[in-house]
Every structure is written in C-alpha cells, then in structure tokens.
Structure 1
Amino acid sequence: MTAEEEAVPAVLRPPVEERYADELAALRRADAESDAARPPGWALSARAVRAFVIGDERWGVRRKFYGDDPLVDRAIVALLGRQGLMLVGEPGTAKSMLSELLAAAISGTSALTVQGTAGTTEDHVRYSWNYALLIADGPSHRALVPSPIFRAMQTGRIARFEEVTRCAPEVQDSLVSILSEKVLMVPELGEESTVSARPGFNVIGTANLRDRGVNEMSAALKRRFAFETVRPIADPVFERELVRLEVAAALGSAPGGGDLFETDVLELLVTVFQELRSGVTAEGSPLRRPETVMSTAEAVNTAIAASLEARYLGGGRPGAAEIARAMAGVAHKDDDEDAQRLKAYVDTVVRERARGSRTWRTFFVAAEELWG
C-alpha cells in the first residue's frame, strides 16, 4: 500500500465519538480528577459536556459548535430534566451537529438515531419483528427488533430523532407516551410487555422551520419537549473560523502545507453568504434575499467544492473565481427569481467593491458570467 493510499480515511465521516475520542477521554479524566458530579446515566458531568461542545483549552478540547453558548447551556439543562429537547431552526444551522455532539458526550454514542422521512413508520420509533423467528417461535425477545429509541431506553442513553416534522402526525405522536411515562409497551410479550427507561434516557429531536413537506407537531407532543431555536451564525469571525475548520477536516491542508484559503478569499465567501442570508449588506443597504437557504452548511459545501476544483483542476489553492463557480449551484436551487436577485446583488454590491479590491474584482468577473 502506498503512502497516499494509507492517508485515505477508512470512512468518509466517522461518528463524533470516534473523531473526538481523545477529547472525550481527556474530559473523563478531568471529571475523575475533580470529582465532578455526573447526572445519573451520563458518561460525563454537565460541565464536561458543555466543554466538549464549546471547547476548553485547559483540556485540549476545541470548539465544535459556533454561535450561541447560552443555547448550549439551556440544551444541557433540558436534557437533565424530564422533557426531551427539540432543536428547531432553518436548514443548515447545525441542529443535527449539536444533537450529535450532545448525544456523544452524554451517552458515549450518537448512533441511536431515527431519521424522519415521509416513509418513517411507527415501527421505526417503537419496535418491529423478525418475521421468520416470529413465525417459528411466536412473539419473543429473540424475535423482537428494537428501534434506536427502544435501545436507548434499555441502556439509559440519548436517542436522536432527526427531522421529526417530516414524519406523519401519527408517527410523531408515538413519542408522546414514551416521553411522558418513560415506558414502552410490547403487548405481544404478555407479562414481560413493559420496557421502562433507565436513568440517562432522553430524546433530542430536530425540526426545520422553513422547508417543504413538513407536518405540524401536535400540542401534546410539543408539551413533551423543551424547544430551542438554533439561529444562523451572526458573527462573521465565528463563521469564517467554522468554515476554515470544516474544510480542513474534510480536505486537509493546502498543497505544500498551510490553510487552503487565503484570508481575503475566506472573508469574501462569508460576507456574500451573510449578506444574502440577512438581506442587508455590511454597509447597511437592503437586499432582496434569495429563497434558497444561504446557511453556514451551504457556505462550507461551497468552500469544499471550490477547494476541490482548485486542487484537481487548478493551481492548488482556491480563489474568488472558484468561489463564484461553486456558488452557482447553490444560488439557483429553489426559485427562478433567485437568478434575478443574485444578478442584482452582483450588478450593484459586488460591482462597487470590485473597483477597490482585486479579490472582489475576480469574483465579480466570474459571478457576472455565471449568475447573470
């Protein structure tokens, strides 16, 4: 095997608990040294969970969630209580990332996950059967196929329910009794029909506020969750740092070492996304916001696409032209009128900045050709 082949990761995206195993181990040692109290069933203390998410230099733990630190505190407190935690917000605001980080820190695994879709059934939330064993032996624990939430109850861990509002209302409501009573009934097993949750069990749900094909949650289900809104990153410094780290994690460093992005190119990328997302320029002038979601997640995807073009088709390091070309696919996803909105942005804001900046001028030339 060549050195180049050895450098290729075994999987594209290892789970959080594997990627940051050293950090989790350091935090467990910190808990042991300080005699920090751990909530029943938790792998780490609440303070260590917080440090894992927002970083702690004392233990070599880097920040992973950028934005609202008090939101992280409220999320941890919610999971200490009897209610579940529901993270809501626009697509691409790192709701799933936050739920994965919390589950990994609290339970040691983020794998107990139900992915909500239009095809999700109640069996995915509760349990199903191995029908060959069911026919051969009748209802038994051996024939039972537990859902991730079932397994989380049995082991006292955090279950994640992604995109709750993509499921039909009757599927969503199968969570109501689980969250209120912390009990799941399996009538087919007779006297052994009750599964009671062990300490540490809870559910983190995520739901998009602005998306197609969503189903409203019932009032009964809403009462079982503490709701927290995850908002887009407002601080451009935080957003630039997050994009830089995510690109480095996905692709490594630039050929020859160092960051893939020059500072001015990264600043341009984040500025464009922040302005189109908010509908206001850095100078305070109003813009027509595109219908497509200009989230931080899309900014990361754009940065990765630009980096790949530069690495394999260009000079190695992405510039403003690669950013413009990578953004073309993001900008025209949802609405035909977005092309006009983006053309207006290029013709006014970008054109003016191009007069005094080589980076913005390069971006303007490429964007005018692609977005016009």
Structure 2
Amino acid sequence: MPRRTATMLASTLMLIALLCAGVFIKVPYAEMSPGPTVNTLGDHGGEPVLQISGRKTYPTSGHLNMTTVRVTSADYKMNLVEAVYGWLAHDNKVVPHDTLYPDGKTEEQSTQENAEEFSQSQESAKVAALKELHVPVQSWVIVSTVVKDSPAEGRLHAGDVIKAVDGTTVKAPGDVAELVTKHKPGEDVVFTVVPAKEQAAAEKANRPATRTEKVTIRTRTSDDDGEKRAIVGIAAGTDHTFPFTIDIKLADVGGPSAGLMFALGIYDKLTPGNLTGGKFVAGTGTIDDGGKVGPIGGIEMKTVGARDKGAQYFLTPADNCAAAAKDTPGGLTLVKVKTIDDALGALKDIREGRTSDLPKCTAKG
C-alpha cells in the first residue's frame, strides 16, 4: 500500500476513533438555546394568554412577546461531541451543569421551583399593572411554605395569614424573619394568624376575615452556613385580592422572567389604544409588586429567539444590558428598562416614532 494512502487511512481511522470516544465520554455541562416566544396580547394553545373578566377591556394589536430559554434536563448527560458542537454553535451556550442545577438539584425539584417562581411572577405582574392604573389591590403577608420536620410543621400551614409576631403587626414578609430572629434558639415565638381555611372562606363570601388564632412555636437553631440564628421553619410571602379576575393561561413555562411582559400585556388590555402602536416588541425581566424590573438569565438566547420571530425592539432589564449588547442580533434594538414606568415610556416613544429618544443598551450597560 502506498505510504500516502496508508497515512490517509490511518488518519481517517484515528478521526473515527476520536469521534466514537467523544460520543461515549460524558462531560459535566448543560446547554442553553433560544426557546419559544409568546405574544401576551394573543392566543396560545387555542385560548387567550391573558383573560380578564369583571372589568372593561380594550382591543389590542402588535406584539408584547415574553421570551424563554430552552435548557437540557437535569439528568441529561452531555457527551464531549455535543459540548464541542454547542461551544461552536453561535446561537447556543454551553455552561457548567451546576450553573443550571446547583447543589445536585433534581429535575423534579427544578420544575417545582420554576413553577412556584412563575406563579409568583404572575401575581406581581398583576399587582404592578393595577398599581400603575391606580386600581386598589388588597395585600397581606402569608405563610408561603412550611419546611418538613421543622418546628412550624403541623402548627402553621401554607396560606395562613400572618397578622402579628409576638404582638407586633406584620406589614411585609421580611418583618417575619426579623421578628423571629430577635429570639435565641429554644425560645418561644407567638404568631397571630388567620387560618388559611378561614381566609379562603372570607374571600369567597366577600367579607373580611375576623377569626384569628395565636400559635406558639419553639424556635431552633438554623442549619445553614454562617451565623447561627433562631428559626421556626417557614417562608413568608405575599398574597393579594384583586377587584376583578385576571387569568394568565400559559402552560409548560417556568421561572420569574416573564413578569414585565405580563404586566405590560395586562396594562394594554385595560387601557384604550394600542400600547405598541402595532409594532413587534419583545422583552424579558422579573417584576416586583412595586413595578421594579429585575435581571434574568440567558439574555443572549432570548434576544436571538425574539429576533428570529420578527421582533424589532427588545425591552431589556438594565442589569442585563451589557451582556445583551455584546452580541445583539441584527435589526433588533435593545431598550434599557429599570421599571414598568420606563417600559411604558419606551413604548410611547416606539408607537410615536421617536426611536432616537429610546434609552438603548450599550456594552457598558
């Protein structure tokens, strides 16, 4: 066999061997890629994404698209060939597995956490939109979760309304931890609560909940790293009662990052005129009850997904601007927003054609 042919054959066999090895070698990485985008003003799965009853709504046009990121599952074992392909692919991103699933988090745990964050983001979007419209919303502090095998298990329940701790009125979720940690581990703390069933019955009957209970719980020492403190094993949150019904119908989506776009969609449906002026606007960002927009993960994937669907403008959390501006898809304008007011101001500029006035993202933020 000629030397040149032998060399080519040996090289080909070596390449095949390397590719085969790469398929079987597992690496501790996961992949992110652009996910679906959904118009909050439109339909999804055959029904409107935003459904409002008990209040006058107005026709809308254009797009206010929320964006998503598709990720490999927690138990998926990426091989070396897939990792290299992902690193080379422009629209995908390969990251350490622990970045997406820290502390050995399972697929089930991740899904549950994302579902809870998604639900909370919907509530905050409703509150932020209605506050912007000066529509009153009733709010109160509740027991959000009870930790298994904690002192509070069986004594407090998810949905209980926390009125006071040790006789001090509770006004925000953070007040609960602050009052509990004034104690030393092993001391008793007294919660004044409206039981969840009583609160639900009162809401159904459209009356105030009047029956309260005092629940005494002995604190124990925290298990986490850092300074030891007294805990009872609950997480406090906020619940709301709205003066009319707002339902968000969107399955198979998780996490908190659609909050801003939901809030804008609700605002648009409750006000005359078109918020977008018929333009295709997409975006992302968490939102709190006060309308503050927070950063999210996977911004580069979301801008690509939005542009692929035809978006012209992308509402970008200020803290994500620098990362997004490093590789902006062609034809997409990144608009920096810190609050829902910023977003509404930007949308006014867009629909009135004053695009030079838009606060645009730069590589510096």
| TM-score for the superposition, normalised by structure 1 | 0.26
Higher helix proportion, which one?
Answer: 1
Higher strand proportion, which one?
Answer: 2
Which is higher, the Rg of structure 1 or of structure 2? 2
**Larger RCO (CA within 8 A; separation ≥ 6):** 2
